[in-house]
A and B are shown apart, each in its own frame.
Chain A
């Protein structure tokens, strides 16, 4: 019996440990195989080019100046819309979190903006703004409610016992805001900002497809579609996905660092859906 147990424990320790990274790579590999299989069945590069063709198109594009100007132009728009969304969302979220009347006042507007279809926003923005700013305006309107909701939830999540303690010791409101409310809200704010960043990428590129500014991933994507260069459309989409993923990853690292520096014990935060 004892021998059996030893053998069992040896077997379990000898079993390969599948790390999350390995599972992720396996997931990507399966997706690529399925994509290639579908492409082989369709047998038309115009409708569904396979992964090797798309990768080749991407390699070709990356050697052109147009590629880098499109990447830098879209990146600038994403950063611009992200910073504006964060600023507006934090301000309105903090005010809503602290004041109940302000929450009631702002909530119809926030609900209305959240319910507005992104395409309707882009089409309207095209009447009001130059083509380079249409994606920025649309992304701000889509992303700032996400930031607003996170900041508001964070401000409201403050431990009521700590709030009572602060009031009993007559801690000034300004000190309470920066020393208690903001640190309590920080994990919510960082989580909201990460979601807002992903949303900014999606909406900026969608806006660029419709408004056709110079130096833009969306414009390049639309141009390739008109030229019936399906592999290039896939390549531009792939670049967008990679840039979005990379910026979210970098922001995640930054968030973790901020949490470590500012908060020793980060409270649990429920993640919110991005749209």
Chain B
């Protein structure tokens, strides 16, 4: 799948400026960039919600998309399993729907909470349910918009663990939009680093280490982390040191 020279403008505001990158099927791509740089706009263009002003996308035609958002976006009056059923209401095969609901609820560790309503679940469980819903919806490409943000460290690690477990089941192509280096570092096979708005691709980092070998604090991950900071243009908190030499 290839994205070539995408441009998007809202009135006078240029949001995306010649964004290009490629994605392998069944891989995880992280789109990393500062808040407000146009990551969500890029995601919306990929899924066809928004049209680009210029550029081309190859290999995304006739693909089915699934989504996970920053907020769980659950219907408060429906149980966990009914929330999943609701998202799959466009599907015809009832047996497949029920099987997928049971399977992904189990993999998200929510089987015993399937009849619980969202307010009876913790914040982390609600996010896991939202992830399970996204994976249960049959799709070729899974789009995640800041799905691991706004949670504490423990919840974040649990959520990322849940994501990996769910992803390994069917290995859909996944695109994770994030402003957090660690989301990209622990989950992605490739990281597309975007600049401040208007977003341009500052660099693309391939992470070849298998997920099970990405040990917290390991030298290998630290080296990738340093490369990501470097692509983002940061080397230290000292602003003078970050400034490019004139």
Contact = CB atoms under 8 A, between A and B. Distances in A.
A201 B150 CA distance: 51
A263 interface: yes
Contacts of B65: 168
B49 to A, nearest CB: 7
A203 B56 CA distance: 65
B117 A165 contact: no
Interface in A163-213: 165-166, 168-172, 175, 179-180, 183
Interface residues of B, number: 21
B76 A264 contact: yes
B192 to A, nearest CB: 22
A124 B76 CA distance: 47
Interface stretch (B85-93, B159-167, B224-232, B235-243): B85-93
A197 B47 CA distance: 48
Q: Is the interface of A mostly helix, strand, loop or mixed?
A: helix
Contacts of B71: 161
A4 interface: no
Contacts of A162: 73, 75
B77 A171 contact: no
A249 interface: no
B135 interface: no
Given A161-B69, A165-B67, A172 B90 contact: yes
Contacts of B75: 162, 179-180, 183
B77 A161 contact: no
Contacts of B47: 168
Nearest to B70: A161
B182 interface: no
**Which residue, B77, B88, B137, has most C-beta atoms of chain A within 10 A?**
B77
Contact of B73 (A165, A172, A175, A263): A165
A129 interface: no
Contacts of A172: 89-90
A6 interface: no
B11 to A, nearest CB: 21
Contacts of A265: 76-77, 117, 119
B78 interface: yes
**Which residue, A165, A170, A264, has most C-beta atoms of chain B within 10 A?**
A165
A171 B119 CA distance: 23
A168 B67 contact: yes
Interface string A14-37: 000000000000000000000000
Interface of B: 47, 49, 65-67, 69, 71, 73, 75-78, 86-90, 117, 119-120, 137
29 contacts: A161-B69, A161-B71, A162-B73, A165-B69, A165-B73, A165-B87, A166-B86, A166-B87, A168-B49, A168-B65, A169-B66, A169-B67, A169-B87, A169-B88, A169-B89, A169-B137, A170-B90, A171-B86, A171-B87, A171-B90, A175-B89, A179-B75, A179-B86, A180-B75, A180-B86, A263-B77, A264-B77, A264-B117, A265-B119
